[in-house]
Amino acid sequence: MDWHILQELFTDYTLRTVALGAATLGIISGTLGCYAVLRRQALLGDAMSHAALPGIALAFLLTGSKTPLILLLGAALAGWTATLVMMSIVRMTRIKEDTALGFVLAVFFGFGMVLLTFIQKLPNAAQAGLDSFLFGQAATLVERDVITMAGLGAVALALMLLFWKEFKLLSFDPEFGASQGFPIRLLDILLTSLVVIAIVVGLQTVGVVLMSAMIVAPAAAARQWTNRLGLMVALAGAFGGLAGIAGALISAMGRGLSTGPVIVLFISAIVLFSMLFAPNRGIVWNWLRRQRNRRRLKLEAVLGDLYALSQQHESLKHGHSIEVLRVMDARRGGVQRSLETLETRGWAQRVGVDAWTLTPEGKHRAEQAAVGRYG
């Protein structure tokens, strides 16, 4: 590990700008992406980011300016239009959402390509830098871009906090919200607009294709750790920001490590880790829980069998062979291990070479378990 790079973070202007930009993007898309994921609009981000291209090109064609704010405005308007077109197709025809999404994505992007090639052939070709929006060139970020990103992001996050309760309602139970008199359609449009802002803010850093991952991944990772929206949003923002900084640093360390893809791989690794190890939901956690349950069931079965046998004899002094228990417990197996566990817990004891019986404590437990099960 080259720790030198961390020092450069504070001294190297380019690296600092890129890292700050990537972190800003990660925080904004992480927080707002939560709503997209919760509302099953994960792929809307993909469609919107592709659809932003004609907006960028048109904004440049109409104003001749490459000011980030103007280009982003164009991108936002186009992304917004695309969402509107998609929703009307779904509402007015029998075409399903996935088809409408793919349609909008490809057609808007294609139209954007037409405009872009058209611009490239203009005589006063000042279009250089426009295609960095396409594939993401974090290295082209300058301070002005980062300030624009942070400004837009701050507005979006402030609105999100302002309408926290409303957006929560919108995400989880819009019908109830409507019945309580909230202007659900307006809120829907506002929230979608905020997601559009998050997307256009990220385009320049990670590009059209990978932007969807920045919307989906932090939220998907955060979702594994908590059931509370507040915590999920905060975690997603943190994951996104972390991935941004880490991606910028890692990509600065090696040749040919483009920032966008590295950020995406980093955040995806966080997703994988979360899906595996998050408590309660994680795959490993679930597997452990299943194992524990299985052991407990086996243990209870042997305990119950010993109890049933003890009922046939006057006292607990009478030992029973492990083979008897195995026959009684034919399908579950692991009788030996269960007996040993029972012994260490003091619920069963050996009274001979191959003779097991319950302790008084074990008998009590078995009775309790029976009451719990049948009483």
Partner 1 sequence: MLAPQLEIQLIASVIAAACALPGVFLVLRRMAMMSDAISHTVLLGIVIGFFLTRDLGSPLLFIGAALTGVLTVSLVELINRTRLVKEDAAIGLVFPVLFSIAVILISRYAGNVHLDVDAVLVGELAFAPFDRFVVFGYDIAPRALVIGVIILLLNLMFITLFYKELKLATFDVGLAASLGFAPAAIHYGLMFVVSVTAVGAFDAVGSILVVALMIAPPAAAYLLTNRLSHMIALSVGIGVISAVGGYWIAHWIDASIAGSMATMTGICFGVVFLFAPERGLVALARRHNRQRWDFAQQMLATHLLHHEGTPVADAESRIEHLTRHMRWAPAFAAQVVRRAISRGLIYQQGDMLALTEYGRRFASEAILR
Residues that bind partner 1 (CB under 8 A): 37, 40-43, 45-46, 50, 89, 92-96, 98-103, 105-118, 121, 131, 134-135, 209-210, 212-213, 215-217, 219-220, 223-224, 254-258, 260-262, 264-265, 268, 271, 275, 281, 283
Q: Shortest Cβ distance from residue 52 to partner 1 (Å)?
A: 13
Strand partners, 357: 349
Q: Shortest Cβ distance from residue 217 to partner 1 (Å)?
A: 6
Q: Shortest Cβ distance from residue 232 to partner 1 (Å)?
A: 13
Strand partners, 356: 320, 350
* Tokens standing for residue 88: 């009307």
Q: In this complex, which beta carbon is closest to partner 1, that of residue 41 or of residue 192? A: 41
Q: Shortest Cβ distance from residue 134 to partner 1 (Å)?
A: 7
Q: In this complex, which beta carbon is closest to partner 1, that of residue 223 or of residue 365? A: 223
| CA 49 – CA 279 distance, rounded (Å) | 33
3-state secondary structure of 346: coil
280 sits in the region (left: phi over 0; alpha: psi -120 to 50; else beta) called left
Q: In this complex, which beta carbon is closest to partner 1, that of residue 77 or of residue 147? A: 77
Half-sphere exposure of 205 (CA within 13 A, CB side): 37
Q: In this complex, which beta carbon is closest to partner 1, that of residue 28 or of residue 301? A: 28
Q: Shortest Cβ distance from residue 179 to partner 1 (Å)?
A: 25
Q: In this complex, which beta carbon is closest to partner 1, that of residue 281 or of residue 326? A: 281
* Tokens standing for residue 254: 């090696």
Q: Shortest Cβ distance from residue 188 to partner 1 (Å)?
A: 17
* Tokens standing for residue 113: 């390509």
Q: In this complex, which beta carbon is closest to partner 1, that of residue 80 or of residue 108? A: 108
Measuring CA to CA, which residue among 41, 200, 69, 245 is closest to residue 145? Answer: 69
Burial profile 102-138: b = 16 or more Cβ within 10 angstroms, e = fewer: ebbbeebbebbeebbeebeeeeeeebeebbbbbebbb
Q: Shortest Cβ distance from residue 280 to partner 1 (Å)?
A: 11
**What is the three-state SS of 309-339?**
HHHCCCCCCCCECHHHHHHHCCCCCCHHHHH
Q: In this complex, which beta carbon is closest to partner 1, that of residue 153 or of residue 282? A: 282
| CA 151 – CA 192 distance, rounded (Å) | 18
* Tokens standing for residue 67: 């000011």
Q: Shortest Cβ distance from residue 25 to partner 1 (Å)?
A: 14
Measuring CA to CA, which residue among 292, 314, 309 is closest to residue 358? Answer: 309
Q: In this complex, which beta carbon is closest to partner 1, that of residue 104 or of residue 348? A: 104
